[in-house]
Amino acid sequence: MPLPDPPISKKSHPASGIPYGPLILTLLMQTLATMAAFSAPTLAPEIARDLQVDGNLIGFFVSTVYGIGIFSAVLSPDFIVKYGAVRVGQFVMLGVVAMLLIAGSGGVAALALCAFVLGSGYGATAPVSTHLLIPRTDPRVLNLVFSIRQIGVPLGGVLGALLLPVLAVSFGWRMAFYVQVIPSIILIVWYQYYRTTWDADRTPTHKLLKAEGLRPLFLLRDNPVIRLLAIACFCYAGIQLCFIGFMALHLTDETGLDLVAAGQVLALYQIAGVTSRPLWGWLADKYISAIKLLAILGFLMAGAALAAGQFSLSWPIWAILIVSAVAGGTASGFTGIAYGAFAVYGGQYRTEATALGSSAMFSGVLILPTVFGLLVGHLDHYWLSYGILAVIASLSGVMLLLAKIPAAGIMEKK
């Protein structure tokens, strides 16, 4: 049976309350892993041209990574207990290195294989981060720290979009994969420097894959707050990808914007998602609970979805940009405080709770955009599909707003 996560010790808190060492390393892990995950879709045109395959097939790469990540997230706390968070973090980065080498050296079959390789570790990024950050973070800045860490997801996507095409044009798409190996190996070595100290709480005698290995699922069954968070995060993450996946096509079809202008609107969405995360974290630490703030973000998300469904040729660009910013700030910006809430209300099983959160979000990413796309294709218009998203976001917000929230387990350890 895995031991509960160790209690928080005030002695481990830095003067600022922010554990800069673990925060930087976990932020880098998330950034490099996400950049690797989005490498194949970003390089898809060059890969498809070179290998003479349909570029749309490469689009399944990210879906495969997240699909495997659902399971690796749930199972990762079991390995963290036995080997330590540092060692599992190194495994994540080793998976990144293997994925990059396989992708750069083979064809379509290799791309399919490396998606499984990356996914086998990708789900562990949040649980590893939780296990390292929580004991070293002052609870008064917990949401801010988690929100900063979660910037690694959009940051990885942005770096990939900016750097990889340039590398592919200059040196070929295979080299664009290989170049990412260098910082990944550096991070593995950097983690090793802290292994003795940060993995001191590991339990080498722990037996893997026993009943307690499913503790994240037990939390879903037994912890009402965690269950509500999982449902809401499933919905919010799915809505996030609906905006990202369909915004450019929607704008070019309905508003007359060209592809460049639509891309700029989507870029604003991503920027809003990055810049809003620390803001929500700060608000959740200072003025309002993360649960209530997540509920409010759900209502704002619903409003953005309703507005997006009304886009037409008569809409001015400034109004479209406002809707995009609100959508990005809510549907993309919620994840930091959501992970913080999972850690807080998971109590002594905060690592397992965060693993469940990752699994719920990954599931939403896989399911809701597919359903949304089918609805748009079947109905031949967007307003009703966006209306359904608005209903889902609103119901999630109401569910969180009305929830009876007990004292948070982690806060009792201050």
Please give the single-letter amino acid code of residue 322.
I
Q: CA 365, CA 335: separation in Å to the nearest integer?
A: 13
Per the CB < 8 A criterion, the answer to whether 115 and 61 are in contact is yes
Band the pLDDT of 398: cuts 50, 70, 90: very high
Domains 10-209 and 216-413 share a fold: yes
Please give the single-letter amino acid code of residue 280.
W
- How many distinct helices (H) and strands (E) make up the chain? 21, 0
In the chain, where the domains are located: 10-209, 216-413
Per the CB < 8 A criterion, the answer to whether 400 and 298 are in contact is yes
For 10-209, which CATH class? mainly alpha
Instruction: From residue 7, give the alpha-carbon distance in Å to each of 132, 321, 413.
Output: 12, 45, 6
Number of alpha carbons in the 13 Å side-chain half-sphere of residue 91:
20
Output the six-digit token pair for 168.
Answer: 């592919």
The predicted-structure confidence for 282-327, as pLDDT tens digits, reads as follows 999 999 999 999 999 999 999 999 998 888 888 899 998 999 999 9
- Indicate if the pLDDT at residue 394 is higher than 60: yes
Mean pLDDT of 245-256: 79
pLDDT at residue 132 in the model: 93
SS3 288: coil
Q: How does DSSP classify residue 206?
A: P
DSSP string, 65-109: HHHHHHHHHHHHHHHHHHH-HHHHHHHHHHHHHHHHHHHHHS-HH
DSSP string, 3-37: PPPPPP-GGGS-TTS--HHHHHHHHHHHHHHHHHH
* 216-413 CATH pick, 3.20.20.30, 1.10.1060.10, 1.20.1250.20, 3.40.50.300: 1.20.1250.20
Residue given tokens 């993995």 in the structure block: 199
Output the six-digit token pair for 174.
Answer: 């295979």
- Indicate if the pLDDT at residue 155 is higher than 80: yes
Closest C-alpha to 302, from 400, 236, 218:
236
Output the six-digit token pair for 45.
Answer: 């045109």
Q: How does DSSP classify residue 407?
A: -
Greatest mean pLDDT among 6-15, 56-65, 85-94: 85-94
Please give the single-letter amino acid code of residue 127.
P
Query: 215: which residues sit within 8 A by CB, 6+ positions away?
Result: 2, 77, 78, 349, 352
The predicted-structure confidence for 170-202, as pLDDT tens digits, reads as follows 898 899 999 999 999 999 999 999 999 999 989
